[in-house]
């Protein structure tokens, strides 16, 4: 397993000008992103929606690369999205999965069959042409350059250490500095898209 923050540090060197949806890695990404106006941190949205949101952004912005950091609890809520993404096959879409084998945000409850589900194989069987699975930061570091230099859609499953929170969500320090509306507004301005 790797630390999400360490993995994101490595990824950051390959981000280029991509739009990044940091998902449940957002609390780490916010301190290391060099292009915050091209980030779409959604905070803690309804589970299951991140991948569809990412697909929508990728289809709307074919000229930009779109990177999504999904999580396995979210993905299990809406596994059918993998077939939809493979069907649409956006060349600019890079689908990363933070698999910590539990629902860390809400106290670490186990995700069904967490140790045995092979998400990269599910993505491949759903039609993704390129899929990867990494358990160590070293392997990930060695492969990320090549992964980002090829067209999407690509799926990259990563085993990450759970960072379990038990404090009531309302009492946790807020890492977001912008509301969702502000985040979308900032990206639209950055891209020169009329609002
Ligand atoms: C539909 C829905 N149900 C429940 C929640 C409460 N909730 C927020 S995060 C979370 C766990 C998410 O698990 P995972 O996607 O694996 O990410 P992790 O928290 O482990 O980083 C839950 C149950 C929610 N946001 N949406």
Return the ligand 1 atom nearest residue 162 CA: 20
Between the CA of 19 and the centroid of ligand 1 the distance, in Å, is 23
Q: What is the pLDDT of residue 169?
A: 86
Confidence of residue 78 (pLDDT cuts 50, 70, 90): very high
Between the CA of 78 and the centroid of ligand 1 the distance, in Å, is 12
Return the ligand 1 atom nearest residue 77 CA: 1
Q: Is 71 in the pocket of ligand 1 (CB under 6 A)?
A: yes
Q: How far is CA 150 from CA 26, 101, 144, 154, in A?
A: 25, 28, 10, 9
Q: What is the pLDDT of residue 170?
A: 87
Query: Which pLDDT tens digit goes with each residue over 144-183?
Result: 999 999 999 999 999 999 999 899 988 998 889 999 999 9
Q: Is 126 in the pocket of ligand 1 (CB under 6 A)?
A: no
Is the pLDDT at 15 greater than 80? The verdict is: yes
**Whole-angstrom distance, CA of residue 31 vs CA of residue 114:** 29
Q: Is 69 in the pocket of ligand 1 (CB under 6 A)?
A: no
- What does the pLDDT average to over 21-44? 95
- As given in the structure block, the two tokens for residue 95 are 């689908």
Q: Closest by alpha carbon to 1, among 55, 72, 53?
A: 72
Between the CA of 106 and the centroid of ligand 1 the distance, in Å, is 7
Q: What is the pLDDT of residue 194?
A: 76
**Whole-angstrom distance, CA of residue 103 vs CA of residue 99:** 10
- As given in the structure block, the two tokens for residue 86 are 């493979």
**Whole-angstrom distance, CA of residue 108 vs CA of residue 96:** 21
* CA 2 to chain CA centroid, nearest Å: 15
Is the pLDDT at 195 greater than 90? The verdict is: no
Q: Are the beta carbons of 79 and 51 closer than 8 angstroms?
A: no
Signed CA dihedral, 82, 84, 88, 92: sign only? negative
- What does the pLDDT average to over 123-140? 98
- Nearest 5°: the CA angle 117, 56, 178 is 95
- What does the pLDDT average to over 100-109? 96
Q: What is the pLDDT of residue 93?
A: 98
Q: Which residue has the tokens 């933070």?
A: 98
DSSP per residue over 94-154, as a string? EEEEEE-SEEGGGT-EEPTTTTT--HHHHHHHHT-SEEEEESSHHHHHHHHHHHHHS-S-E
Pocket test for ligand 1, best of 22, 68, 71, 73 (most atoms within 8 A of CB): 73
Q: How far is CA 55 from CA 87, 93, 169, 178, in A?
A: 11, 7, 28, 23
Q: What is the pLDDT of residue 165?
A: 87
Mean pLDDT of the chain: 96
- What does the pLDDT average to over 1-9? 98
Q: Is 12 in the pocket of ligand 1 (CB under 6 A)?
A: no
- What does the pLDDT average to over 125-138? 98
Between the CA of 129 and the centroid of ligand 1 the distance, in Å, is 28
């Amino acid at each position: 397993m790797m630390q999400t923050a360490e993995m994101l540090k490595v990824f950051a060197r390959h981000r280029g000008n991509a739009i990044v949806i940091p998902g449940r890695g957002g609390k780490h990404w916010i301190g290391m992103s060099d292009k915050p106006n091209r980030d779409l941190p959604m905070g803690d949205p309804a589970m299951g929606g991140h991948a569809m949101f990412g697909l929508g952004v990728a289809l709307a912005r074919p000229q930009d690369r779109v990177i999504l950091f999904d999580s396995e609890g979210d993905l299990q809520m809406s596994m059918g999205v993998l077939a939809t993404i493979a069907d649409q096959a956006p060349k600019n879409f890079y689908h990363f999965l933070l698999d910590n084998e539990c629902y860390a945000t809400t106290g670490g409850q186990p995700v069904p069959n967490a140790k045995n589900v092979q998400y990269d194989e599910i993505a491949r069987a759903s039609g993704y042409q390129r899929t990867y699975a990494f358990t160590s930061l070293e392997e990930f570091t060695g492969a990320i350059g090549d992964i980002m230099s090829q067209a999407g859609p690509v799926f990259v499953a990563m085993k990450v250490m759970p960072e379990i929170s038990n404090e009531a969500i309302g009492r946790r320090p807020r890492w977001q500095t912008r509301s969702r509306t502000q985040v979308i507004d900032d990206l639209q301005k950055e891209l020169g898209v009329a609002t």
